[in-house]
């Protein structure tokens, strides 16, 4: 039982990271229909930002975190300006920006790869390495930090969509671009904001996971795949879906690795199995968008 509760904390923390990655996809895909696989590289950029600001320059964690996330919003906004908007304005099919963003993925990775040493680089923990226990539930400080921050991000995202006019305009664009534009919603501003928000969510995931896995120029692709799987499980319709998908995926992965009587290597297949089953049986994901 102790083992299970310990694992539950670690799986929840991993699930939160996957959830944030899924949220990054979702923020962009909802209003624009564009799936942006460069989110993994964005998480990587934020992790390297964490390394620079928090490790090399030793900034206080809170300030470093705010600066990294703000920087990521700029990265998202600039990406939209340079790689997406020119194509959309010229009436290119939806596939064009998706391919352009794959190019962004490669360019981003190469920039990081040539700018930093090849080895994984350390990113400090906000709190020391230590263990927190609430009765039988125990886990590292970082696990609880990841869970807390992720919950705050999701509550914030939920409030944004449910309670603010901006959020409603996002929904309106998601439901019907043309009608939303006719109602006076500024489409390009919504798109720019979607990319800034997506980059911030991905950046948050990268910053939170990097003390554990280090900043590394190849860290983006696995995060992008995990986030995409979580998105398929949870569905693109609602922000809660991203978190739900992430948690389900992480629990499935870690419980299989721990308890399933199969060789450890096979447990890696679980996410793929999930992806295939959901795409076949329930391609809209668990949570449907409200009509």
Partner 1 sequence: MKKVLAALALGAMALGAHAQETIKIGVITDRVGVSKPYSEPATEGVIFGAEEINRKGGVLGRKIELLVEDDQSRPDISAALARKLVDQGAVFILSVSLSPATQQQQTVTMEAKTPQMTPMNSADYLTTQLDNPYFWQTGPLGSVQIATLLAHAKSKNFKRVAVITDNSDLGQAIAKAFKGTMEKAGMQIVADEVVARGATTAMPQLQKIRAANPQAMFLAGVLTAENVLIFRAYRELGLKFPIHSSYNLSVPIYETVAKGLVNGVTFVDAYDPDKPEVKAFEAAYRKATGRASQNLHGYGYDGINLIADAIRRAGSTDKEKIRAAMQQTSYAGVMGAKGMKYTFPEGKRVGFDPNGMVVRVYEKDKQGRVLHIGTK
53 binds partner 1 (CB under 8 A): no
* Closest of 66, 72, 68, 40 to residue 52, by C-alpha: 68
Task: Tell me which of 98, 212, 237, 240 binds partner 1, using CB under 8 A.
Answer: 212
Task: Tell me which of 54, 105, 219, 230 binds partner 1, using CB under 8 A.
Answer: 219
CB of 263 to partner 1, least distance (A): 7
Q: What does the alpha-carbon distance between residue 216 and residue 122 come to, in Å, rounded to a whole number?
A: 9
| Contact positions with partner 1 (CB under 8 A) in 121-160 | 121-122, 129, 131, 140
Query: Please, what is the end-to-end C-alpha distance for the chain in angstroms?
Result: 42
Q: SS3 for 22? A: helix
Task: Tell me which of 265, 280, 281, 283 binds partner 1, using CB under 8 A.
Answer: 265
Task: Tell me which of 61, 96, 113, 168 binds partner 1, using CB under 8 A.
Answer: 113
106 binds partner 1 (CB under 8 A): no
Distance of CA 168 to the CA centre of its chain: 22
Give 54-112 as a DSSP string.
IIIS---HHHHHHHHHHHHHHHHHHHIIIIIHHHHHTT--THHHHHHHHHHHHHHHHHH
Task: Tell me which of 258, 275, 286, 289 binds partner 1, using CB under 8 A.
Answer: 258
Task: Tell me which of 57, 62, 91, 114 binds partner 1, using CB under 8 A.
Answer: 114
52 binds partner 1 (CB under 8 A): no
CB of 209 to partner 1, least distance (A): 6
230 binds partner 1 (CB under 8 A): no
Tell me which stretch binds partner 1 (CB under 8 A): 7-15, 72-80, 164-172, 273-281: 7-15
Q: SS3 for 42? A: helix
CB of 105 to partner 1, least distance (A): 15
Q: What does the alpha-carbon distance between residue 200 and residue 132 come to, in Å, rounded to a whole number?
A: 28
Residue 177 near residue 194, CB atoms below 8 Å: no
* Closest of 274, 134, 116, 137 to residue 210, by C-alpha: 116
Which residue, 14 or 191, has its beta carbon nearer to partner 1? Answer: 14
Give 221-257 as a DSSP string.
HHHHHHHHHHHHHH-SS-HHHHHHHHHHHHHHHHHHH
Tell me which stretch binds partner 1 (CB under 8 A): 25-33, 149-157, 170-178, 258-266: 258-266
Task: Tell me which of 67, 96, 225, 289 binds partner 1, using CB under 8 A.
Answer: 225
**How many other C-beta atoms lie within 10 A of the C-beta of residue 157?**
21
188 binds partner 1 (CB under 8 A): no
Q: Which residues bind partner 1 (CB under 8 A)?
A: 3, 6-7, 10-11, 13-14, 17, 110, 113-114, 117-122, 129, 131, 140, 209, 212-214, 216, 218-219, 221-223, 225-226, 250, 254-255, 257-258, 263-265, 267-268
């Amino acid at each position: 039982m102790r083992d299970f509760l310990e694992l539950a904390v670690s799986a929840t923390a991993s699930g939160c990271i996957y959830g944030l990655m899924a949220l990054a996809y979702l923020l962009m895909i909802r209003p624009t229909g564009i799936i942006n696989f460069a989110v993994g590289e964005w998480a990587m950029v934020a992790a390297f930002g964490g390394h620079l600001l928090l490790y090399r320059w030793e900034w206080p964690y809170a300030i470093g975190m705010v600066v990294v996330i703000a920087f990521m919003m700029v990265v998202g906004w600039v990406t939209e300006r340079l790689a997406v908007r020119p194509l959309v304005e010229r009436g290119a099919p939806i596939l064009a920006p998706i391919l352009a963003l794959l190019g962004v993925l490669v360019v981003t990775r190469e920039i990081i790869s040539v700018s930093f040493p090849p080895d994984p680089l350390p990113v400090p923990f906000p709190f020391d390495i230590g263990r927190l226990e609430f009765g039988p539930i125990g886990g590292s400080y970082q696990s609880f930090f990841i869970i807390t921050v992720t919950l705050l991000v999701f509550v914030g995202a939920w409030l944004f969509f449910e309670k603010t006019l901006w959020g409603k305009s996002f929904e309106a664009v998601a439901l019907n671009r043309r009608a939303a534009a006719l109602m006076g919603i500024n489409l390009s501003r919504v798109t720019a904001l979607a990319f800034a928000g997506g980059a911030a969510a991905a950046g948050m995931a990268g910053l939170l996971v990097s003390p554990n896995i280090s900043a590394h120029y190849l860290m983006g692709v696995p995060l992008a795949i995990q986030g995409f799987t979580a998105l398929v499980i949870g569905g693109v319709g609602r922000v809660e879906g991203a978190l739900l998908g992430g948690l389900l995926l992480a629990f499935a992965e870690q419980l299989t690795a721990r308890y399933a009587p199969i060789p450890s290597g096979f447990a890696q297949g679980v996410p793929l199995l999930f992806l295939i089953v959901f795409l076949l049986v329930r391609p809209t994901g668990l949570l449907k968008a409200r009509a």
